[in-house]
Amino acid sequence: MKCNEIKKKIIDFIEKELSLEERKEIKEHMEKCKDCRREYIENLALFELLRNDEVEKPQRLVVPFFSSGKKKRRNFLIPMGIVFGIFLSFLTWLFLSLKESKEILRTEREDVYNAYITSITDDEIKKMEEYTERDVYEELYEIAEDEELFVEFIQKIKNNGGG
């Protein structure tokens, strides 16, 4: 190969794009030819200069259309979950509190009922003839303060004869 052909192939030689035979030929030529050797060295130097030309990197390469959108959804779900959890806890607390107060009230009413029943002596029961059934029922209704409990009290009286 002549110098012109060698020089055209020096880039391919550096980038190892040539066949072994061509490489060998160019190498042998450059050992003898100062001009071609200089061309080779200059190209090597240029490549080294350019390799040091670093890309200016951004702090964080974000493509908001996808990645950030996903993160936003995730971020949105977490507080929503917390709010829902708090709301659920509040509902549970409210339910338990109401149930508890209802039970306390019921126990209180039952105590009053028992005291009322106990306070009625046999004599008084006899006197109860003077009471109409309606009077007793009215008193029990006031004690019960609740339709359901009132029915239970009436049932109790009927079953146990007032005890």
User: Could you say whether residue 158 binds another protein (CB under 8 A)?
Assistant: no
- CA torsion 102-107-110-112 (nearest 10°) is -100
Q: Which of 21, 48, 130, 133 binds another protein (CB under 8 A)?
A: 48
Output the smallest distance, CB 62 to another protein, in A. Answer: 8
Q: Which of 55, 74, 129, 161 binds another protein (CB under 8 A)?
A: 55
CB atoms < 10 A from the CB of 86, how many? 10
> Which listed range, 38-46, 74-82, 90-98, 117-125, lies at the site for another protein (CB under 8 A)?
38-46
- Helix count and strand count (H, E) for the chain: 7, 0
Residue 19 — left, alpha, or beta (φ > 0 → left; ψ -120 to 50 → alpha)?
beta
User: Could you say whether residue 74 binds another protein (CB under 8 A)?
Assistant: no
Distance CA 91, CA 94 (A): 5
Distance CA 47, CA 53 (A): 10
Residue with tokens 């019960």: 144
Distance CA 156, CA 140 (A): 11
Nearer to another protein among residue 11 and residue 88 (C-beta): 11
User: Could you say whether residue 16 binds another protein (CB under 8 A)?
Assistant: no
Q: Which of 43, 110, 116, 120 binds another protein (CB under 8 A)?
A: 43
Output the smallest distance, CB 8 to another protein, in A. Answer: 8
Contacts to another protein by CB under 8 A: 8, 11, 42-43, 45-50, 52-53, 55-58, 61, 63-67, 70
